[in-house]
Every structure is written in C-alpha cells, then in structure tokens.
Structure 1
C-alpha cells in the first residue's frame, strides 16, 4: 500500500481528485486531498504547505502529487513530511524564492504560441464530461492573488525523487512549453499522458495507473 498526498491547483478544492482517490482506494492505497486556503487573502504558500502537512498527520513515506499551481506548494511539503516521491502533474515548477506572480514572465510563457479560448471549460475542461465540468466549476473558489506576489520560502529543490507528467492536449500549459520548463528547471525529461489540463477528471484511471507505477518504481508497493 502507498499513501498519496494530492494537492489541487489554483481556485480549486480537494474534490478535484475524488475520482483518482476512488481508483487508488480500490487498489488498496491511502489518499488525502485537503482544501487549500486559496480564497484567504492572509494565506500564502507557507500556509498552503501547513494545511497539507496537517492533513497528512502521522502518515509516513507519502507520495506527494501536485496539479498546476500546486507545484509551488508541493516541494515545501516534501521535506516536512519526508516524502518518498514528488509527482508534478501539468504543473508550475517553481525556482527558489520565486513568486507565483513572476512565474509567467520568468518562464517565457507569453512568448509561447497558444490558442485563444473564451471560457474556463474550453481552457481547462475540454475533455471532461460536461456534467463533471459543470460540477467542477460550481465547486471552484476564488483564488486570492494577495499572497502570490510573495517570494516562495523554497530555498532549494528537495532531494525527493521527482517526476513530471504533462498532458499532450493541455491548453493552459502547452506540451512544448512544459517540456522546456521541466528541462530548464529540473534537468529531467517529463512523462506524457493524453488529455487536457485536468486529467484527474478526464482520465482518472490512467492517472491512477501512472501514480501507482511511479510508487512501484520507488519500491513503495510491497507484494502481499
């Protein structure tokens, strides 16, 4: 059995992971997916990390998984919970002391060729079943930008083994862009999966397969 700590992205909730949690639970794994205080103007990345660490509790040797903006929180969590593996999914990959607000300019996001999309469904949920996309929008929260201009407490990337999983149909973070950022910032080649920016909703089984395979590679799954 492995323990997965699942961190959502901007303006979202832990519910985002519910289908992946069901898949992992059916395979005998434990998961936790807290709601970050993303609508709280007084909360920054340190408070986000505190929320995750509190939710982890006394669980040991977890796999930390982060989506999108959650990539800024995940490395802060890893050292504090002694994570065995960090998996970044369609992520933002922070540099030490970087502010989330500066990330876009620092990574040359504006120079990337991207499509134009008129609404959140077309940008984030184009391959998610309509009823599920509507529920995701209903559950979403406002993302406070107050703390996003503060430098990250990250001083160096954790020693935790790290995998990056990008989505081939991601309209927010195009694959070419994320391949480049992953190599520039982590020096690794990312893995790839079909789907848009929110694979936990569009392809939960395939995502659970990947997470389980990563855990197995790290020796976290013991045959009973």
Structure 2
C-alpha cells in the first residue's frame, strides 16, 4: 500500500511534459505516473479524459496496490482531474498553473468568466510586450524552457480539440479533497496574480508561487518536485 502521484497534462494531452518530474519523484522513492490524453480526438470530452486517468491508475496498480493518490493537474488538466475523485482514493489535488472550473461552466466560457484574456494583456503591457501581437507559443509557453526540450515539444506536440470546452463542468461543487494551487511566478499565459484571484474566488485558496512559467514542469522541475513533496 502506498502513495502514487498521478500527473495530468494540459492542452495537447502529452504526459511527456511531466517526464522530468516523474523521474525526480521516482528517484525520491515515490510511485509516479504521467497520463497521456487524446488531445486531438474530437470525440473525447472531459468524461472520457477522466476515464483514461482512472484507467492509467488501475493499470499502474498491477505493479503494486495504491491507497493514496495525489492528483497533480496542469493547466487544462484542472478540468478533468477532479472528475476522478469519486473513483480513486484521492488524498489531495495539486493544481499547477491550472484552470479552476465552476459548476455548470463550460471550458469555453471559463476564459471570459475569469477574465483570462484581459489578465494576459495587462501582464503583457506591464512586461513590455505587445498584447495585440500574433499569439506565439514560444513567448507564452516556452520562454523559459531549455531549447532541446522546446524543440522536442514543438516536433511532437498535438493540437487540442474543442470537445473538452463544449459541455458544462459536471460536478455540483469542487471535490471535498484537500487542494493546493501552485502558480508559476513567471507564467505569461495565466499570470500569477490572475491565478491567485481565481483560486481565492473559486476555492478560497491562496496560491503558492514557484519559479518558472506555464510549463515549469519542463523549465523548473527541481523546484516543482520539491513543492509537490511538501
């Protein structure tokens, strides 16, 4: 019987973004798995994502029994990971630069409801970027990620389908599970102050600020792993 860290990716669904953190958790003696989700599948919505997260845990359990799951959800993973809490022995949820949904809200409405676009634009102006420039993945996601990892991600990444954004978030409330919210201090896509406001308003949580940007699992894996283990 033991603890398992289950790491859920954001848009595109590639569990690869967690590979550096998985290696560090395992080196520290913990069980850890990264889930792959079908980001490019237009037929897969949040419920299908949740099913795949549960299946990944059940498959991993063939190597050992787990009675303590720590769900770690990055970005878009914040919509799907909580849907598994009624089927897995989840002891805590850790959000990493994650979307925090409201009951009945679609993922598509989340952006306007939370004011993400305005927060991004305000942060761009404050940091000297043109908020009206063409959206650049390098600027908002990979600005602090090592070049070799950026090159791999760009070559192997998948698009994100719109299916997960169309249906209302199905839970009546956030799961009754202890939850932490970690925010990259240099996140340009979900600025840290924006994350702090959403976490406070929706879950009554204070965010814990960490070094790095939106993909700090790739850019600052040591600091993120340490935070997950606290």
Q: Answer yes or no: same fold by TM over 0.5.
A: yes
Partner of 2:128: none
Partner of 1:114: 123
Of 100, 108, 111, the match for 1:104:
111
On the 8 A contact 1:164/1:182 being kept in 2, the answer is yes
On the 8 A contact 1:78/1:86 being kept in 2, the answer is no
Give the 3-state SS of the residue equivalent to 1:61 in structure 2. strand
Runs of 4+ that moved beyond 2 A: none
Partner of 2:89: 82
Shift of 1:104: 0.5
Shift of 1:31: 0.9
Give the 3-state SS of the residue equivalent to 1:94 in structure 2. coil
Greater displacement, 166-175 / 134-143: 134-143
On the 8 A contact 1:12/1:139 being kept in 2, the answer is no
Of 102, 119, 133, the match for 1:95:
102
- Pick closer, same or farther for the CA change 1:155–1:123 going to 2, 3 Å: same
- Once residues 195 and 203 of structure 1 are traced to their aligned partners in structure 2, the CA distance between those partners, rounded to angstroms, is 6
- Once residues 170 and 147 of structure 1 are traced to their aligned partners in structure 2, the CA distance between those partners, rounded to angstroms, is 23
Partner of 1:42: 43
Query: TM-score of the superposition, structure 1-length normalised?
Result: 0.91
Shift of 1:72: 0.3
| CA-to-aligned-CA distance 1:151-203 (integer Å, 9 cap, x gap) | 12222111110000001100000111111001000001111101110011001
Count of equivalent residues: 213
Say yes or no: does 1:136 pair with 2:153: yes
| CA-to-aligned-CA distance 1:116-163 (integer Å, 9 cap, x gap) | 465211110111111111111222101111341111222211111000
Structure 2: where are the runs of 5+ without partners?
A: 125-130
- Once residues 115 and 74 of structure 2 are traced to their aligned partners in structure 1, the CA distance between those partners, rounded to angstroms, is 20
Query: TM-score of the superposition, structure 2-length normalised?
Result: 0.89
On the 8 A contact 2:3/2:67 being kept in 1, the answer is no
Partner of 1:210: 227
